[in-house]
Amino acid sequence: MMIILPEQVTQAIGVLENAGYDAYVVGDCVRELLLGNNPQDYDIVTNAGINDILFAFREYRISDERMKRGEVLVTVVGMIIQVSPYRREVVGNRVMYAEDLETDLFRRGFTMNAMAYSPRTGLIDPFGGRASLRPDPAAVAEEEREEIQEGLVPDSLDEFNRRTGVVRLPARVVAIGEMQSRTVKENGKQTTESWYDMSRCFTSDPSRILEAMRYCSEGEYVIEEKTADAIRANVSCFEYAEKDKLFNELSRIVMGKYAARVLEQYADILKSLLPEIEPCIGFEQHSVHHDFTVWTHICKSVGYAVPELSVRFAMLFHDLGKPDCCSIDSHGHGHFKGHGERSRLLAERIMRRLEFPAALSGEVSWLVFYHDKEIPEERAGLKRLLDALGAEDLRKLIQCEIADARAKKMDTETTDVQRLRAASTALKEILDTGECYNIRQLAITPRELMERRLVNSEQEAEQLMNALFEMVLDKPSFNNKLMLIDMAEKSKQRLEEIMAERERIAAGKRAAKALNHRRGEPVFTRKKK
């Protein structure tokens, strides 16, 4: 079959073939092209060595930043293409090279990634990867063929099935296994039985367990039954996995379009990596505010969250502490006092274990701890909170609370959700219009107040600035210099009147005291103890 490759990729393959080498596009890009998608990354493998690759592309821009992994990044007419020799295994910076294409494909773990293509040879599929994918356009009714080829298939597979009447199954994630054989005796006869041992896929690289889940999270895939069994049989291998790979795959899972479904469906696998989630699975909340168990609520909140990594991870961790903090009152209602702090501690333990980047860990930890903080409804209160937290932190906190609120009830648009959406809209308006939410944004400075002799000291200036700021919070239009000076003058005048009145009263008291003393009348004072 013929696959249309970008011109830059065809050119790169041509460079290697003209130099006397074989060259094929492999892996994810072949799979995505067969599914009718538009891949962004292209990988080429060849029987040329590293030095041969460098020499062949000597007239092109080359990056050697991944050379230790046996990868050369070549820029061809603005497109970066990864070119690698055939490899048997890559662990960290340790590379074992292979002699042939099939060995290179075998190491890729899943049949759907173990395909290669070149314009010269066509599709090479030694492990049946194409069979695990959805039917190609040729298998679809004639009237739908052009639509699919033009990339007009809806995002939802269910939607496509309903509209067209054509049943298209999701792609299946199938592990490549080594062919095994054994002799068995049945009914007095000896026979040889052969099978594929898929465990090798996961014992050689435990991060592939999460990779399989990631495909399901990012696209319309399901894990084939035997592959799922092999995964469950080898979850103990997480202990030996490279931490950076686990973090990268987990990040892509929570960021996936179908993250909620995958997290709930494969919770029994995920708990081997994250044992902290196990108490949450099936834990009833006994609350009028929640229709779901703790884990189902967590999964749904991840799915409802905006696609930002810190927000998604915060939703994954935000209620982990609930089982530890649960108490049931006399009416049978569940309460979870202090679960924010407990969830934060559990989240930090997970992030340390998986070696999360420090900046991400700090942000997630903060969001988990404050995920149930009350967001003010009134605009002035929102601006005070904005001043305290900063624009980005408050925006993410509101997004966390929206996702949390949507995942509580069957009805995802409750009054709480509507209130939080209104707060999110108000926040955007405040930032877009440049409304004052920080005392430094006032149109006047303490120095100007002192220069105009509206105050006599820095302390008075600070007090007056705070008073002006409170006025502006309620009435943003007041934030111009002339109006602020006018209000400051009125404040000064009012303050002077108050001080004069206080002095007048004090002077009267002093005069009365002196008069009584001259008359010889006793002056009454507070008795000393």
Distance CA 243, CA 229 (A): 24
Question: Percent of the chain, pLDDT > 90?
Answer: 52
Final residue before a domain boundary, out of 137, 171, 186: 137
* Per-residue confidence (pLDDT) for residue 503, from 0 to 100: 73
Q: Return the half-sphere exposure (C-beta side, CA atoms, 13 A cut-off) of residue 167.
A: 0
**Domain endpoint, select from 137, 168, 196:** 137
pLDDT of 150 reads: 41
Name the strand (E) or helix (H) holding 44: strand 43-46
Residue 63 sits in a domain of what CATH number?
A: 3.30.460.10
Report the number of distinct structural domains present in the chain.
2
User: Long-range contacts made by residues 270-274, C-beta under 8 angstroms, separation at least 24?
Assistant: 270/213, 272/235, 272/236, 272/238, 273/210, 273/235, 273/238, 273/246, 274/350
Bridge partners for 97 per DSSP: 87
Lowest mean pLDDT among 41-45, 133-137, 303-307: 133-137
Taking only the tens place, the pLDDT of each residue in 1-27 is 678 899 999 999 999 999 999 999 999
| Mean pLDDT of all residues in 460-484 | 85
Q: Give me the pLDDT at residue 142, please.
A: 44
469 pLDDT more than 90: no
Is 410 contained in some domain? no
Please report which residue ranges of 452-480 form alpha helices under DSSP H. 458-474
In the numeric block, the tokens 């709480």 are attached to 416
Confidence of residue 151 (pLDDT cuts 50, 70, 90): very low
Q: What is the pLDDT of residue 301?
A: 96
Q: How would residue 58 be classed by pLDDT, with cut points 50, 70 and 90?
A: very high
Which tens digit of pLDDT belongs to each residue from 123-135?
999 998 988 886 5
Domain extent, residue 506, equals 444-518
**Domain boundary residue among 137, 170, 203?**
137
- Rounded Cα distance between 496 and 520, Å, is 36
Query: C-alpha angle with apex 40: 38 to 45, nearest 5 degrees?
Result: 105
Least confident range from 143-147, 371-375, 407-411: namely 143-147
Residue 120 lies in a domain: yes
Give pLDDT, residue 26. Answer: 96
Over range 468-482, report the average pLDDT.
86
| CB of 371 closer than 8 Å to CB of 402 | no
- Residue 40, domain member (yes or no): yes
User: Residue 249 and residue 214: Cα distance in Å, rounded?
Assistant: 7
- Does residue 398 lie in a domain region? no
Vertex 338 angle, CA 335 and 341, to 5°: 145
pLDDT at 159: 57
Mean pLDDT computed over 338-342: 94
Predicted TM-score (pTM) of the model is 0.81
pLDDT (average), residues 27-36 = 89
Please name the amino acid found at residue 433. Answer: T
Is 166:160 a contact under the CB 8 Å cutoff? yes
Per-residue pLDDT of 66-98, as tens digits, reads 788 788 999 999 999 999 999 988 766 678 888
pLDDT tens digits, one per residue of 423-467: 999 999 999 988 889 888 888 888 888 888 888 888 888 888 888
Cα 478–Cα 484–Cα 490 angle in degrees, nearest 5 = 115
Any domain includes 49: yes
At residue 138, the pLDDT reads 45
Q: What angle do CA 472, 474, 479 make, to 5 degrees?
A: 20
Residue 361 domain-assigned?
no
Q: What is the mean pLDDT of the chain?
A: 86
On the question of pLDDT at 273 being above 90, the answer is yes
DSSP label of 443: S
pLDDT confidence of residue 517:
60
Domain assignment present for residue 499? The answer is: yes
- The residue with greater pLDDT, 499 or 384, is 384
Residues 86/101, Cβ–Cβ less than 8 Å: yes
- As a whole number, mean pLDDT of residues 154-168 equals 52
Q: Tell me, yes or no, whether 61 lies in a domain.
A: yes
Answer yes or no: is pLDDT of 399 > 70.
yes
Per-residue pLDDT at 121: 92
